Amino acid sequence: MTLTQIEYILAVAKEKSFRKAAKSRFVSQPTLSAQIQKLEEELGVVIFDRSQSTNSLTKIGELIIHQAKMVKDEADRVSEIVQVQKYGLVGELNVGAIPTISPYLIPIFLDSFNKKYPKLALNLSELTTENCLNHLVNEEIDVAILATSEDKNIFYQEKLYDEEMVLFSNKDNKLLKKKSISTNDISAEEIWLLEEGHCLRDEIIKICGYRNERSKYPKNLKFQVGNLESLRLLVQANFGYTLLPYLSTLKLNPKEKKLLRPFSGHKPQRSIYLTLRKGYLKEAAVKAVKAEILSSIPFFK
């Protein structure tokens, strides 16, 4: 078994097509097919069921692919160690982040990171949690910044920080008369949430003790809001209130900051994680991103 053969079977498993796999490895289809057939003959097993249009894996093929991924990762890790020792952090790191984190966290550390590591390009994508996880599994991104705890059998996570939530209210709301509030002050009829599918929505529902299927909405109006900026403007122009992550409040103007109220007692917060697939590569680059984030965000200074 050679590393080339391992790369070929991994490509077919990913693309589910010998033709597409050959194209991704920049070889002809006969060359790729011959190498895979040679490997199957050497092992005495069939890895791919060629009777299926999608070239699905046989049962033993699934086990072989699982092990092949680990072998490929370890081989790549050797090359990575040598590269870092010789040249430092170079190349690129593909980072995904959810929309309730990306616009508020990334600008805080990006400039200083680029100055420290000019040879390492950060390719940033704003993705939903589900898309981040899919991109990780398909190796389309190297690391994701999420606000959810994920399956430890599939993903590896490191906590970055805990972020407090603050209340943002319409100027006429009675809660602004208080210097600080409690989660018990929050009313289901007055709070605006992001549309379903956003993890921040689920977190706020849990914090405030609501059921996920709420029958009540502010003034019986069901409004589908897809981002924090729309949510904030809606509250500001109309009625009620919402909860905002702390980092999203840093760039508010002085007038808008007067509409914020902190929580007293048990303060609601969310945990932010670096999320990677098991056996992840680019360890040095990931550590550099983590260190720069922790040194840049204001509540760690």
- Based on the domain organization, do 97 and 127 belong to the same domain? yes
The pTM score is 0.77
pLDDT digits (tens, 9 = 90+) for 187-243: 877 888 877 666 776 777 676 665 444 444 555 555 666 688 888 998 998 888 988
Reported as a pLDDT band with limits 50, 70 and 90, residue 300 is low
What integer pLDDT is reported at residue 212 of this predicted model?
A: 42
CATH number of 216's domain:
3.40.190.10
Same structural domain for residues 126 and 148? yes
Gap between the Cα atoms of 286 and 280, Å rounded: 10
Does 222 share its domain with 284? no
CATH number of residue 71's parent domain = 1.10.10.10
Same domain, 290 and 263: no
Q: Are residues 275 and 150 in the same domain?
A: yes
Per-residue pLDDT tens over the stretch 245-280? 999 999 999 999 999 999 988 888 899 999 999 888
**Tally of domains within the chain:** 3
Q: Which residue would you say has higher pLDDT here, 78 or 38?
A: 38
Instruction: Assess whether 169 and 261 both reside in one domain.
Output: yes
**pLDDT at res. 214:** 47
Amino acid at 4: T
- Structure confidence at residue 215 (pLDDT): 46
Same domain, yes or no: 172 and 199: yes
Average pLDDT, integer, range 79-83: 80
On average, the pLDDT of the chain sits at 87
Rounded distance between C-alpha atoms, residue 250 and residue 61, angstroms: 52
Domain range for residue 66? Answer: 3-84
Q: For the packed helices 283-296 and 102-116, what is the interaxial angle rounded to 10 degrees?
A: 110
